[in-house]
Amino acid sequence: MEFLQSLIFIILPLFFSTLHLLKLIFRPKENCCYMLNYECYKATDDRKSDTESAVRVVMRNKNYGWEQYKFLFRTMVNSGIGEDSYVPKIVMDGKEENPTLSDSLEEIDDLFFQTLDNLFSKSKVSPQEIDILVVNVSLLSPVPSLTARIINRYKMRPDLKVYNLSGMGCSASLVAIDIVKDMFKVYKRKFAIVVSTESLGANWYCGNDNSMMLSNCLFRSGGCSMLFTNNPDFKNRAILKLSHMVRTHFGANDEAYECCIQVEDDKGYLGFRLTKKLPRAAAQALTVNFKVLLPKILPIWELVRYFLVYMWRGKKKGTMGLNLKSGVEHMCIHPGGRAVIDGVGTSLALSDYDLEPARMTLHRFGNTSAGGLWYVLGYMEAKQRLKKGDRILMISLGAGFKCNNCVWEVLRDLKDPNVWEDCIGKYPLKIMDNPYGEKYGWINEEYLSFIRLEDCVFAS
């Protein structure tokens, strides 16, 4: 028996090493997808959602009662979001109950053209040189399309390949990049633009269903424009190279499909429902995705170690998890919320250092939907963490339910402070105090439940 076990320990590593070498030798050569630059959106300071402005937005909703106030302020306190995130102009102007199409388009245009103007200027690439354009905005799909607005603004070429994605949720950014990657297999030496954001103002929930009020507490204005190429002549100008991409759609599962969905409440108010089934759906989708992705990115010795430990200890005594840091240096996790970040961190045995970029992004910018990953990447760059040769694992989760993950290779040392320039020095925060709790924590006191809301005077 001991001889057999020793034989297994010798043969298995040799077998997997040989298999890995054969894959490297006979693997077909793939086209490269280089990222040249990315530009995140930053709204003006008058749209910052500090404590007082948030309270004003909440207090003017006549559908709320005492229980809704308690729920909202408890959620705000535990959200992990600070006072510097941005809300749509529609909401700041008090028009969230009756938004117009013009309001929505103005919101989107501001983000599109700010980020694209900066991207073209920084990259020294003309809009007329772009060959592929992919735009993802889940909750706004006008006619002409949003891609057409960009084409008209920049007078882009008529032979441009155009894709307009809607309904893809928070993981849409990597869906768009996957489309670019596939297009690069057919079209050589091309430039591609991906614009990733969300339309929030016209989709602000004005009802009083707790599961739908959550989205108002978590989602904030933000987005990103990115420039890609498969032209090897631009490799020296590129910052990242796409190494792997795996997309998982768990929509066949009813609980997963319904855990994150746009619906109308009983009173006809349209909103986005987030249910308690979401963490379970996320865990299941992530597990399915990792079964495909991890064998591609982890070293063979780590896979062998995990297999041997699993076989040796068995399920009864527990198993040692895979060490993700043996295959990647950085974790770029979608800042979907405090529970999402902590849940991913716990399940993957990540350190506070690994989770810091996502946590600080959530605190500074909130959940900016599909654009959130790029604020996390920007934090790592501003902190000068990203060095040539490093690998970044991006983890995105979104409605559907989808889990889309990819790995990037850093092609040169990165240190652009980007949208973090004015505040990176104060991060990471040692104590994540929330001002809502300090100023309005009294609202959760049971002995005050007899007070009439119309008699209350809130700071403004």
Residues taking part in catalysis: 170, 249, 330, 334, 363, 367
β-sheet bridge partners, residue 264: 270
The closest of 336, 384, 340 to 361, measured between CA atoms, is 336
| Percent of the chain as helix, strand, coil, to the nearest 5 | 50, 15, 35
Query: Which single residue is written with the structure tokens 């809502």?
Result: 436
Query: What's the CA gap between 140 and 100, in Å, rounded?
Result: 12
Query: What's the CA gap between 205 and 269, in Å, rounded?
Result: 7
Alpha carbon separation from 436 to 233, 260, 368 (Å, rounded): 52, 26, 20
The closest of 114, 54, 106 to 83, measured between CA atoms, is 54
Note whether 38 and 74 are within 8 A (CB): no
∠29-35-37 over CA atoms, to 5°? 165
Phi/psi of residue 403, nearest 5 degrees: -130, 110
Neighbours of 94 (CB within 10 A): 11
The closest of 150, 151, 167 to 159, measured between CA atoms, is 151
Cis preceding linkage at 272, omega within 30: no
The closest of 349, 320, 328, 343 to 405, measured between CA atoms, is 328
* Pairing status of strand 132-137 against strand 34-40: unpaired
Query: What's the CA gap between 453 and 241, in Å, rounded?
Result: 55
Distance of CA 299 to the CA centre of its chain: 27
